[in-house]
A and B are shown apart, each in its own frame.
Chain A
Amino acid sequence: MSETSPSVELLEQVEDVGGAAQPLLQVSGLTKHFPVRGDLFSPRKTVRAVDNVSFSIAKGETVGIVGESGCGKSTTARLLMHLMKRDAGDIVYDGMQVGRALSLRELRRGMQMVFQDSYASLNPRLTIEDSIAFGPKVHGMADAAARLLARELLGKVGLRPETFANRYPHEISGGQRQRVNIARALALSPRLVILDEAVSALDKSVEAQVLNLLADLKREFGLTYLFISHDLNVVRYISDRVLVMYLGEVVELGPVDKVWDAPAHPYTRALLAAMPSSDPDNRTETPPISGDPPNPIDPPSGCRFHTRCPFAEPLCANATPELSDVDTMGHQAACYMAIAGSGHSRAPAKENDKGATAA
C-alpha cells in the first residue's frame, strides 16, 4: 500500500492469517443443484449446475476456469461470493471457515467480484464516484475519505478523476465501465478478485488494455485472481493454473502450460482444437467433436462427456471417473484413460510410472 499517496486512506486489508503456505481459498465438494419444474406429469428434474467441485487458490496466484455455457463456471463464482446458497461443500478463506471463523461481511471485504455485464452491475442513479465510494462507506469509512479513495482508484484504473468522477454509467463506454467496476471491487482492499467473464463483452483492442491493467493492479495491490472465461487465449495468457469444467464438474486441472501442451482429458483436447486457427494457410479441416453440449438438466450418467467422447467405452457410462494425478506437478484429469489400471483399453497399465503416461 506504500504506492498510494499518504493523504488517501485505504480500508485495511483482511489480515493474512495463515501465512504464505496457506491457500487463500480452499473449496471442497462444492455442489449446487437447481430444481426445475418438469412437465405436468413428469417428475421434478434437477439441473446439476455444480457437482462436487474442489480446488484451491494459492496466495498471489491467478487461477482460470474455462468451459462452455452451462458448465457451471459462473455458478461456482456466485457460490464462492455467497451470492447464492450452496447445497453442500466447504469454502475456506485463508484457513478460516466462512460463517464460523469469518463473517460473511468480512469475507466480502476479502473477496470481490467483477461481472461480465458492466452496465447491469452499476447502479444507474449513482455517479461513478458514488458507486466506488459506496462499499467503503458501508464498511465504516467517512464520506470524504471514501470519495478521496474513489478518485484515487479511478486514477489507478486509468480514468482521469476530474473527467469521470461525476459521470453516470450510461455516459461512458463499455471498456471504461469495466474499469469502474474493477475500481469498485478494489475499493474494499480485497485480496481475492473474482473476474467472471470480465473482459468478454469488450472489443479486442479494449480487452487488451483491461488485461494489461489487471496485470498492473495485481502487482501493485498483491492480488489473487480467479479468472473465469470461455476464451482460451485469454485464460492462457493470464492464468497460472486452470480448471476445465464440463456440465458442472471439473474434468481437468493443472498448470496452464501443462494442460495446454498435453491435455489429458478428451474434452480439453476438443476445446483446444476448436479454437479458430491463426494461420490462413492452416485452417481447421474437421471439427474436433460433433453436437452441442448436452442439457445440464439430468446430465448423462458416469462420465458426463461420454455421449460426445470419441473414445468412450462401456465403463465410462457406468461410474464417474475421479480426478486423478497425471503427473507430479499438480496436473489432474477425470478420465479413465488417464487412470492407470482403470479398465479402459487406452488407460496405462497399473505398474507403469506416471512419467510414461504423460509421454
Chain B
Amino acid sequence: MSNLVEIRDLNIRFTGERTVHAVNDISLTLGEGEVLGLLGESGSGKSVTLRALMRLLPKKRTQISGTVKVLGRDVLAMNDEQLAAFRGQTVSMIFQEPALALDPVYTIGHQIAESVMRHEGKSQKEGMARALEMLEVVRIPSARRRLDAYPHEMSGGMRQRAMIALALACKPKILLADEPTTALDATVQIQILLLLRELQREFGMSVIFVTHDIGVAIEICDRVAVMYAGQIVEQGRLRDIVRSPVHPYAKGLLASTVHGAKRGQRLETIPGTPPSLDKAPASCSFAPRCSYAQPRCSERLPPNVQVSPDRTARCVLAERATAVG
C-alpha cells in the first residue's frame, strides 16, 4: 500500500500576542483507500493538522516546520498558483458548518459547476451536468430543482450533502473531513456517516476524518491517531485502540465516554485540564494528569514506542508493554 500523505515531524506554532504551540512533532501517513481518524478533544491540534495539509492556516501568523508530502509533492513548498490547483482537485475538505463554508450568494449548482470549470476546464453546461450528477450521488431529493437553490433554502442535513457533493465534484484522491457531522441531529448524522462511508468505497478515496466523538470514529475509521496537546499519543488500527488502548490518555478518553454506563455508578474521569500550549513540550504533556506518571515522565519527552507493526504509543508504559509482550 503506497502512502498518499506523509507528514513527518510537523510543528505548527501561531505567533502574535502570545505564542501557541498547536502541533508538536507529529508524523503520520495515509494509505490508499484508507480512512484515518484524528481523535481528540478541543485544542488538541487535530483541525490545525488538517488545515496544514491544505495550507489553509493564516500565512503571517503561522510558523510551520517539518515535511508534508501529498502524492509525493511537497505541500509546504507550493506557490499560490500550485496551491489553487491542488485544492479541490487533489485534496478537498468538508467542514463542520456547511452554512459558513458555502457561498451564500451563489446557487448550489453554480458553486459545484464553478469548481468543475476551474479544475477541469469544462464548459458551464458540462459543469452543471456534473453538478446534477453529484447531487444525485449524495442523494439529495429532487436534485434538478435543488441545483437552483441557495444554501439558506436548504436544511442542515441537505446543506451538508451539498457540501460533500461540492468537495467530491472533481473526484479528489483525498478528502479531509473536519467534524462534518458534529452540528447535525442524531438521525441525520448517521445518514451522512453512512453516505461518506459508501462514497469513500465507491470513489476509492482516502479520507482523514477529524472528530472528538469516539462513536463516530468507530463508524467510519480504519485507523486512528489519538491527539493530546498537539501530539499524537497513540496511533494504530481503530479496533486495537478501542479494545485495548495503551496510552493512559487514550484509556481515559475511552473510559470517560458515557456508553452504557449504569446509573448511580461513577464515571471514570481524567482529572485536571489540558495544558496551555504556550511552550513547546519538554516532557510528557499528559504527566500532570496521569495516574501512572513516574518521575522521568516530567523530566524528558516520552519515547514514541512501536508497540506492534502498525501501532505506536508515546508513553514510557508502552516500553514495558513491548518488553513483556
Contacts and interface: CB of A to CB of B under 8 A. Distances in A.
B71 interface: no
Interface in B254-293: 256-264, 266-271, 273
Nearest to A287: B191
Interface residues of B, number: 45
A292 B218 contact: no
Interface string B164-179: 0000000000000000
Contacts of B193: 276, 284
A212 interface: yes
B219 A230 contact: no
A205 B252 contact: yes
A205 B190 contact: no
Contact of A277 (B156, B218, B271): B218
Given A230-B186, A288-B190, A293-B185, A205 B270 contact: yes
Contacts of A281: 239
14 contacts: A68-B188, A69-B156, A203-B41, A207-B256, A208-B267, A208-B269, A230-B186, A231-B258, A236-B260, A284-B190, A286-B194, A288-B187, A289-B187, A292-B158
Residue of A280, A288, A289 ringed by the most chain B CB atoms within 10 A: A280
A286 B252 CA distance: 31
Contacts of A58: none
Interface stretch (A40-48, A100-108, A267-275, A341-349): A267-275
Residue of A211, A289, A292 ringed by the most chain B CB atoms within 10 A: A292
Nearest to A213: B269
Nearest to A175: B273
Q: How large is the interface on A (under 10, 10 to 19, 20 to 34, 35 or more residues)?
A: 35 or more
Interface string B189-225: 1110110000000000000000011111011000000
Contact of B218 (A69, A173, A283, A295): A283
Contact of A215 (B186, B212, B260, B266): B266
Contacts of B266: 212, 215
A208 to B, nearest CB: 4
Nearest to B238: A280
Interface string B141-169: 10000000000000111100000000000
A278 interface: yes
Contact of B186 (A240, A275, A286): A275
A315 interface: no
Given A204-B256, A278-B218, A284-B193, 13 more contacts: A69-B156, A203-B42, A206-B41, A208-B257, A208-B258, A230-B185, A233-B260, A238-B263, A270-B187, A278-B260, A285-B194, A286-B194, A287-B194
